[in-house]
Amino acid sequence: MFDTPLTWHENGYLFMTGQPDIMAKLAEAAALQKSMGLTEVHIVDPEQIRELVPWIGTHGLLGGTYTPHDGRVTPTEGVAVLMQAARSSGVRYREHWEVRSLERAGTMWRLTGPGVVEAERVVVCTGYWSSDLMRPFGLELTIRPQPLFSAITGPALAGLRVPLTIDLDTGLLIEREGAGLVIAILFEENPPGYGHTRMLEEFGELARVRAPTLADLQVARHVVANVDMGGDGQPYVGLVEDGLWMVAGFGGHGAMHGPPVAELLAKVIAGRPDSTVDLGPLSPWRKPGATTEWMVAAKKG
């Protein structure tokens, strides 16, 4: 698909829980994935988790799901490769071109920034800026920026398997980054005054139970990035007005979900919608709470 090489880090995903209702939903999700052709999705119990990742403490866990062939690309590299592939198909980019307004201009749409661009069709993909940009059209979106405070550690768990590991009960997140790790705690909404200092303190407390060997890691650097969180955990995808569509609000999963969702929306715009996938529930015009997301990793208060 791409002429430019792209590094794929196949470390796997491991989601864990001690809650019976979440464990049941993980099992349901695994069954759905298998029915759609994903053969390598495993329901694992605490003993199997210890075999897979012996650095995990399983006290209080019921089990989880493990998908060994999941992985990630580096976001900057992934975006660069997608842009290069699009350019080869005739797409043109205007970088550092801030859109100040979007309005109807007769049969066209007018975008005003450092200059003016008019187009018959516009797709708004503006992340956590979408709520403000789309409000003039009558949309009250719930997308908001939320800082994700994380840290990259020094060398750790050398020679051991480190999947993207998330404790769905506490929000504890651990994944491989070079010879070190990325560590964080996931929240639905950050507590007041939350930052790296508090994150590292609470990570140490949680790690003493869930990953004892990681409780006192050396931190190489702090990292923070805004995530485009939505109120119901689902993106807004679809028609706003004639000739105007939007796709935004992936809650940090845009690198994973964005490309296939964009392809589905492109088919809709071209008048050839995919008959197997209904984008209707993701409509920007849906009522608050019309969709829900159960798989939210969040530290309990």
Torsion of CA 230, 235, 241, 242, to 10 degrees: 170
Domain boundary among 222, 248, 270: 222
Same domain, 111 and 167: no
Query: Residue holding tokens 């994700």?
Result: 148
pLDDT at 297: 54
The answer to whether residue 213 sits within a structural domain is yes
The answer to whether residue 297 sits within a structural domain is no
Strands 13-17 and 164-167: what pairing?
parallel
Please check the confidence at residue 293 and state whether its pLDDT lies above 90: no
Same domain, 129 and 244: yes
Share of the chain above pLDDT 70, in %: 95
CATH code: domain of residue 245: 3.50.50.60
Residue 300 identity (one-letter amino acid): K
Domain boundary among 222, 243, 266: 222
CATH code: domain of residue 207: 3.30.9.10
Question: pLDDT tens across 180-199, in order?
Answer: 999 999 988 889 999 999 99
Q: What is the mean pLDDT of residues 151-169?
A: 96
Same domain, 61 and 111: no
Same domain, 67 and 153: yes
Same domain, 61 and 157: yes
The answer to whether residue 18 sits within a structural domain is yes
Question: pLDDT tens across 248-258, in order?
Answer: 998 878 778 88
pLDDT at 300: 45
End-to-end CA distance of the chain: 45
193 Cβ contact list (under 8 Å, min separation 6): none
Same domain, 271 and 207: no
Same domain, 159 and 271: no
Residue 214 identity (one-letter amino acid): L
Residue of higher predicted confidence among 39 and 265: 265
Distance CA 34, CA 28 (A): 10
**Confidence class for position 229, pLDDT limits 50, 70, 90:** confident
Range of the domain at 22: 13-71+149-222
The answer to whether residue 4 sits within a structural domain is no
Same domain, 172 and 54: yes
Distance CA 134, CA 103 (A): 10
The answer to whether residue 85 sits within a structural domain is no
Same domain, 23 and 138: no
Q: What is the mean pLDDT of residues 37-46?
A: 94
Structural domain count of the chain: 2
How far, in whole angstroms, is CA 257 from its chain's centroid?
7
How far CA 112 is from CA of 83, 108, 129, 145, in Å, comes to 23, 13, 16, 23
For 2-6, which contacts have Cβ atoms below 8 Å and span 24 or more sequence positions? 2/81, 2/84, 2/85, 3/84, 3/85, 3/88, 4/80, 4/81, 4/84, 4/85, 6/73, 6/77, 6/78, 6/81
285 Cβ contact list (under 8 Å, min separation 6): 139, 238, 240
How far, in whole angstroms, is CA 136 from its chain's centroid?
27
How far CA 97 is from CA of 111, 232, 296, in Å, comes to 10, 30, 34
Same domain, 48 and 139: no
Distance CA 133, CA 99 (A): 9
Q: Whose CA is closest to 54, among 181, 153, 162?
A: 162
pLDDT at 227: 87
Distance CA 56, CA 160 (A): 11
The answer to whether residue 81 sits within a structural domain is no
The answer to whether residue 2 sits within a structural domain is no
